[in-house]
Each structure stands twice: as C-alpha cells, then as structure tokens.
A and B are shown apart, each in its own frame.
Chain A
Amino acid sequence: MTDGAPFFRLDWVVDNLDMLAQRTGEHVVLTLIGVGFGILIAFPVTLLIHRRRRLIGPVLGVAGILYAIPSLALFGLLIPVTGIGLVTAEIALVSYTLLILIRNGLAGLDGVAPEIVEAATGMGHTRIQRLWRVQLPLAVPVIIAGLRIATVTTIGLVAVTALIGQGGLGFVIITIGINRFFPTAILVGVGLSILLAVLADRGLVLAERALTPWARAGSGEG
C-alpha cells in the first residue's frame, strides 16, 4: 500500500467492472468444467463399485490420494506432461471433486433401505430398471449433498489455478491483488468468489427440492 492511498478503491471497481464480469464468467466456466468432468467420471465409477464391492477400497484409496496432494505439488507434477494451461488446471480441479462425489454417491445408493430394493426386485424390475427407477431417485438427497460440497470446494480452488495462467477471480485476487499489493482487488475477488459459492449452493438446494418432492410429504404415523 502506498502512503495515503485508501484501503478500498471504489473508483477502481467502477473502472474495472467489465474485467471483473469477464473474470467472474471465467470462474464459473472453470468450475462448471471441473465439476462437470468430475460427475462424468464419478458417476460410472460409483455405479461400478456399488455393484463390484471389492473395488470400493482401491477406488476410494486412489481418490483419497488425489484429494490429499497439495494443489501446487499437483501442478508441478502435471506441467511437464500437460503444460501450463487449462488442461492442467482442470485435471487438478476434477481430481479434487472425485473423492467427494464418489463417496457420497456410494453412500446414497447404499442408504436405500434393503426392503425397498428387495420390493423392487420382487416386483420384477431388471437390475438396470431398479437402479434408475428406485435406487438413484432415492439416493438423490445424498448425491446432491456431495455435489454441493464438491461445487463449493471447486469454486474456492479455481482461484489457485491463477498460478498457471487460469484462475477466473483468482487472477483478480492473486495476480492483481497479492502480486501488486492491491487490497481492493483481493477483497473484490474474494467477495465475488464467496458470492458464487453461496449462489451455487442455494441453486443446488433448490434443485434438490425440485427433484425430491416426496421428501417433504410430511410424515403420517408409523
């Protein structure tokens, strides 16, 4: 901070609205790609380990290791292979969603009452019909709980990818704010990032409500 400069420069925010909007848009896109590919990988893997339970340990083990690697270290490992850029950033982001998505997906499927599954079987569902018509719909609340955590986590992590030339709001926070000692950018970047996280979380809560009208049916006796 230079002498006499105000801590928060509203004029800078006003002058840079277009840039902030663009970086926020990037942030959303980076998040959507990360969570989207996370779902694309986690969904079939969850179905596989739900059925072949011997694979649960190894799969969750690998996902756990990916989750535990510090992001900087992961960039360091990936840059020689995939270079500096979007692919490296997304590989990191996707890696961090997998453990959460797979573990919650499995918990959701396993949480369906065994008598419900048996009723479905006894009424003549094939395995696939039972999965799509009974088990997955009933697992939705737990699956979405995982999706909410994964999404909010990813929104936070996107900022770090500014270190490899991506970053969305991370560019505002790190490249402009931290590197140039400019607190206004840090505050605005962090604030927008938090706002995105809250909006995404509320959106998913609304999606869950829309998908599970039965969960609010109120309970009769017994």
Chain B
Amino acid sequence: MTDPELAPAPAASGSVVAFEHVTKRYGNGPPAVTDLSFEIRAGEICVLVGPSGCGKTTTMKMVNRLVEPTSGRVTIDGADVASLPAVDLRRRIGYVIQQVGLFPHLTVAENVAVVPRLLGWGEPRTTERVEELLELVGLDPGAYRSRYPAALSGGERQRVGVARAMAADPSVLLMDEPFGAVDPIRRERLQNEFLRLQARLRKTIVFVTHDVDEAIKMADRIAILQVGGVLAQYDSPDRLLGAPASPFVEHFVGADRGLKRLSLARVRDLPLESPVTVVVGESFAAARQRLPDGTTWALIVDAQQRPLGWIAANDVAGEGTVDASMATPGSTLLQPESTLRDALSAMLVSSVQLGVVVDEHDAMLGVISVAAISRTLQDGAGSSPP
C-alpha cells in the first residue's frame, strides 16, 4: 500500500458499537441470536466467529439494520440505531460483503463513488475522494478507475471493495468474510495490508469469518458465538487461546491452540538478524571476502536489495561473477506483519531454515531463524500486547 507518510495518522476515528440484550428470532423458531450483550471499543477490530448457524452474520447485520432485532438494542456511540432512518444509518457505515459485492455494471471509480453520490456530494469532491481512496488501497487510479469489476483479479476486487466501504469516511465498517474469495497466499498479503491500513485509520470494524485462524490474526477482540447466537466468550485472541472459557471454545479454537498463539506475534516483534549477502554482479573474490569462516549459506540480493535466493558458500570458490541463476529459491518471503506461525511454517519447508523479511517494495530488511522463534515460544508467545 502507500507510504504511511502520505496522510497523517488520525486518532481513532471509530465509534463505540454496543449490543444490549439483543435477541433475534425468525417466526416461531428457536432464536438465531440469544440475549447478546457486548461492547466493541472505538477503533478496534471485533471478529465474530463461530460455526455455521451461530448467527454471526445476523449479528453483524443488526448494526446497519439489514436485520432488526426482535428485542434489545444496538447502539453506536450510545445512540440506538433504530432511532435513525435506516438509509441514513447505512450511508454512515462501510459495508464489505462476501465476494465483495462490487456492482458489475459500474467501473472501479463509479463503484467507489456510490455512497458519495447517494450523499449528494458534488462531482469534483467525489472524483478527488475516489482518486485518494484508490491510492490508499494501492491501486493506481490511472490504470484502474475505468475498469469494470469483471476485469479485476480477486485481490483487486477486494481492495476496491475496501475503498468503496471507506468512501464517506464512516466510523464503523462491517466486513462479512471479506477475504473469502481470495486464494490463501494473496489472502495473507491482503490481511497484512488491511491491518497496516487499519493501524492508520483506526475504524471500528465488525468482521465476520468462519476461519478461526483469520479471527486470531485480525482481531483486537474475538466474539465466539455458538449455535443459536449465544456468546461463548468475548476476549482478546491471546486470552481466548490461553484461557478458553468453556469446552466449546477450547474445541472451536482447536487442539493446536499453543501453536496458534504463535499467530499473535508478528515477525516485527522479533529482533531481525543480518544475513551474509552477496550481490548479483559482484566477483566471487569480492563475495568471499565478506563471508566469515564457517558460513555455509549466503543470501543473493539484487542491486535494489531484493532477495533472490540462497547460495552455498562453496559455490563462490574460484573465479567468476555472482549471477542470479545461481540462487536456490528459499522459503516464501515474510513481511513485518506476517505472523510467527506463518513464518515458522514457511521456514520449515525451506532448505535454509531462515525466513527472509522484506518491506513493501520487496527489499530485504533482515532474516529470522527458527531458533529465535523457539526462544519466543519459551518466553510465552503473543503474551505481549500488540
């Protein structure tokens, strides 16, 4: 995404969203949501997670009144949402649904402009806002504004969906499985980008997913719901994994919850080590000079410090110049926002058990080792506040 310097980081612009004894019943059937009470703090990501039929989407839709509670109330900054006309309320709440829900007949720019136009903004203001948002989510306005959703990849659609939801600068964002339609590798990247964006924007976000790993990664707090919309636990991810409130929660978060706590710590939480590097184009002799005795592997980088792969130390014996084709591909590149769990997983499948960490321009920041992660585990992973 764009440089954090582009816009000053605002204070939390989110609102407090509270559920007060909310019950939803369809017809005479059993309740879909049962006496739900919890409060989402301003600027936090609250993830609603649970098995299918747990009412998580229903719960989310009560915030923008796509679903009306049978009893109880939902408030935003203390005001009952039922006291506002539904249309006005919805224009003030960002909404990203499964498969993103872009309008196929509108261009990227027109999709992002939907809420500004509903609000009657003038054309100059709308256009300016659209350009700003596309840049914010990392899409070049010149290349993307006139394209239709059908011509976008899943990841691009997802970014447009986020830009569209942000258009009128809402204080609350509702996201229903927003990354569901993206393949796992891109999902990881989009999640990281979104967390980076959220660190600057500090919206209050209600995020629905069925994926407990995604919940752990994205959430400031997780509301685990069980069938019938009963709140099983509302806690920080670390507390949820460390002290599950019931056998249901323990079962739902999975037997590997120890490992999952690794999902709570990020690569940026560990001190990075500096690897031995050789640069494409330099002579073997020059490369050897920088290899300390006993070094078996070095990292090949290009002139922009982008890592290309690993090279064995004895490959630079004799005469020659370092060439990109000498690189043995290593593990997936890590980002500072990657979780230690993903980092560990990437490193375990690599021949060199080091993870290379890169910035958003793919330039190398440093490496982390399995040993460093292991030390973190012993210290109690993820117990540090984010």
A residues in contact (CB < 8 Å) with B: 115-116, 118-126, 129, 134, 137-138, 212-214, 217-222
- The number of inter-chain residue pairs (CB within 8 angstroms) is 82
A217 touches B64 (CB 8 A): no
**Given A134-B103, A214-B105, A220-B153: A115 and B115 within 8 A (CB)?**
no
B151 touches A219 (CB 8 A): yes
B148 touches A121 (CB 8 A): no
Query: Which residues from chain B contact A121 at a C-beta distance below 8 Å?
Result: 66, 90
Query: Which residues from chain A contact B114 at a C-beta distance below 8 Å?
Result: 123
A51 CA / B208 CA spacing, docked (Å)? 30
B150 touches A220 (CB 8 A): yes
A119 touches B151 (CB 8 A): no
- Other than the given A134-B105, A217-B150, A222-B153, 20 more pairs (CB < 8 A) read A115-B98, A116-B103, A118-B101, A119-B95, A121-B66, A121-B90, A122-B90, A122-B95, A123-B91, A123-B95, A124-B118, A125-B87, A129-B118, A212-B105, A213-B148, A214-B107, A217-B149, A218-B150, A220-B153, A222-B157
B154 touches A222 (CB 8 A): yes
Query: Which residues from chain A contact B181 at a C-beta distance below 8 Å?
Result: 222
B156 touches A119 (CB 8 A): no
A123 touches B90 (CB 8 A): yes
Taken residue by residue from 78 to 115, chain B's Cβ proximity to chain A (1 for < 8 Å, 0 otherwise) reads as 00000000011111100101110111111100000011
A124 interface neighbour in B91, B102, B157, Cβ under 8 Å: B91
CB pairs A–B below 8 angstroms (10 shown): A115-B97, A116-B101, A123-B91, A129-B118, A138-B103, A214-B149, A220-B151, A220-B154, A220-B157, A222-B157
A123 touches B151 (CB 8 A): no
Tell me the smallest distance from the CB of A72 to a CB of chain B, in Å.
44
Query: Which residues from chain A contact B154 at a C-beta distance below 8 Å?
Result: 220-222
A218 interface neighbour in B106, B107, B151, Cβ under 8 Å: B151
Query: Which residues from chain A contact B239 at a C-beta distance below 8 Å?
Result: none
Query: Which residues from chain A contact B91 at a C-beta distance below 8 Å?
Result: 123-124
B105 touches A122 (CB 8 A): no
**Given A115-B101, A122-B64, A123-B91: A217 and B118 within 8 A (CB)?**
no
A13 CA / B101 CA spacing, docked (Å)? 59
A220 touches B156 (CB 8 A): yes
A155 CA / B235 CA spacing, docked (Å)? 70
Is there a chain A Cβ closer than 8 Å to B145's Cβ? Answer: no
Query: Which residues from chain A contact B88 at a C-beta distance below 8 Å?
Result: 124
A220 CA / B61 CA spacing, docked (Å)? 30
Query: Which residues from chain A contact B106 at a C-beta distance below 8 Å?
Result: 214
A222 CA / B89 CA spacing, docked (Å)? 32
A11 CA / B99 CA spacing, docked (Å)? 66
A62 CA / B309 CA spacing, docked (Å)? 73
A217 CA / B144 CA spacing, docked (Å)? 13
Tell me the smallest distance from the CB of A120 to a CB of chain B, in Å.
7
